[in-house]
């Protein structure tokens, strides 16, 4: 097996995808910021089941990081990522430099309203505009038939679904289930920041999500269950719980305070030191 082909310009990306198109092949794209783990590779494998060719993008997008966030220190190791991608079935890596994505005078931003307002949107001003703009650019640059995004960033997935529908992008958005360590911790590049003591506390987040989701699915009132969930996480050793909320699975409107009446999503962020652990699960009504 030769090395994974890498392109760094929009023109080269379009050329390669154009060749596949001329052969009537179906193309999938998996956008990433690198620092790949099994979660990303599962997106890639899912993409490979839905298309003849898979292109991954690797771009640490500066516009989705806030001041004081980890843009500078975000782990970057392209050759490791390329080897992992290739082993998972990737056919092409698109790894543009920042100047290729944001040329001189770049002045456009996409703002998705509604679904971006609560949770991550409230905690990270500007984050979703950065995500929406770069994802729109990547989808327009590659025009894949299908693009795969993980449910780990569930709010991001809903933002991307909204923008794809609103901008008439002819791309199917395919969600991929969360991949977890055996003890339940959702995989994330940022888990690497956890100390051993914090790592030991971390799986309690998923356990509480399951427990509280079950209680609500069984008829418990939502508001009281949310409060109990927050208290249980603090008791388990988390330093703070930013949110632990039942929401509509599509528009992310807050649910409760009473019993559940249809499908829902339970989304949470709990902090260990400076590390924010995100997780969420589907709730059957
Ligand atoms: O989820 C991510 O890794 C990023 O937000 C994405 C979708 C690649 C956009 O930069």
Residue-wise pLDDT tens digits, 127-171: 999 999 999 999 999 999 999 999 999 999 999 999 999 999 999
| Best of 153, 163, 190 for a ligand 1 pocket test (most atoms within 8 Å of beta carbon) | 153
Tokens of 77: 């190791």
**Which residue from 277, 206, 203 is spatially nearest to 242, judged by alpha carbons?**
277
pLDDT in tens, 160-216: 999 999 999 999 999 999 999 999 999 998 899 999 999 999 999 999 999 999 999
Active site residue 37: no
CA of 176 to the centre of ligand 1 (A): 14
State pTM to two decimals.
Answer: 0.97
Residues of the chain with CATH 3.40.50.620: 6-176
Question: How large is the C-alpha radius of gyration of the chain?
Answer: 19
Above 80 in pLDDT, residue 96? Answer: yes
At the top level of CATH, the class of 189-280 is alpha beta
Identify whether the C-beta of residue 183 lies closer than 8 Å to the C-beta of residue 249.
no
The closest residue, in CA terms, to atom 1 on ligand 1 is 32
- CB of 134 closer than 6 angstroms to any ligand 1 atom: yes
Instruction: Please measure the distance between the N-terminal and C-terminal CA atoms of the chain and give it in whole angstroms.
Output: 48
- CB of 157 closer than 6 angstroms to any ligand 1 atom: no
pLDDT category at 66 given cuts 50, 70, 90 is: very high
What pLDDT score does 2 carry?
79
CA of 163 to the centre of ligand 1 (A): 14
Above 80 in pLDDT, residue 1? Answer: no
List the catalytic residue out of 30, 40, 201, 268: 40
Angle of helix 204-217 relative to helix 222-236, nearest 10 degrees, comes to 160
- CB of 202 closer than 6 angstroms to any ligand 1 atom: no
Taking phi over 0 as left and psi of -120 to 50 as alpha, with beta for the rest, 256 belongs to: left
pLDDT in tens, 110-127: 999 999 999 999 999 999
CATH of 6-176, one of 3.30.1440.10, 3.10.580.10, 3.30.1360.120, 3.40.50.620: 3.40.50.620
């Amino acid at each position: 097996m030769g090395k994974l082909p890498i392109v760094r310009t929009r023109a080269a990306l379009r050329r390669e995808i154009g060749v596949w198109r001329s052969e009537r092949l179906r193309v999938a794209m998996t956008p990433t910021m690198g620092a790949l783990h099994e979660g990303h590779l599962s997106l890639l494998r899912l993409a490979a089941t839905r298309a003849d060719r898979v292109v991954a993008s690797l771009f640490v997008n500066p516009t989705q990081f806030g001041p004081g966030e980890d843009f500078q220190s975000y782990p970057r190791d392209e050759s490791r990522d390329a080897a992992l991608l290739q082993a998972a079935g990737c056919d092409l890596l698109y790894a543009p430099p920042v100047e290729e994505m944001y040329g001189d005078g770049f002045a456009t931003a996409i703002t998705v309203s509604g679904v971006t307002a609560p949770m991550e949107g409230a905690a990270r001003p500007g984050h979703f505009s950065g995500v929406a703009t770069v994802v729109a650019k990547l989808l327009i640059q590659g025009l894949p038939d299908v693009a795969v995004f993980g449910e780990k960033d569930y709010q991001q997935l809903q933002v991307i679904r909204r923008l794809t529908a609103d901008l008439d992008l002819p791309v199917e958005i395919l969600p991929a289930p969360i991949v977890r360590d055996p003890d339940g911790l959702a995989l994330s590049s940022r888990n690497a920041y956890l100390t051993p003591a914090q790592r030991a506390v971390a799986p309690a987040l998923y356990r509480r999500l399951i427990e509280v989701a079950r209680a609500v699915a069984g008829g418990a009132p939502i508001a009281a269950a949310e409060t109990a969930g927050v208290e249980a996480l603090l008791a388990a050793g988390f330093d703070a719980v930013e949110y632990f909320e039942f929401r509509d699975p599509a528009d992310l409107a807050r649910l409760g305070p009473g019993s559940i009446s249809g499908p829902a999503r339970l989304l949470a962020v709990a902090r260990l030191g400076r590390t924010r652990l995100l997780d969420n699960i589907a709730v059957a009504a």
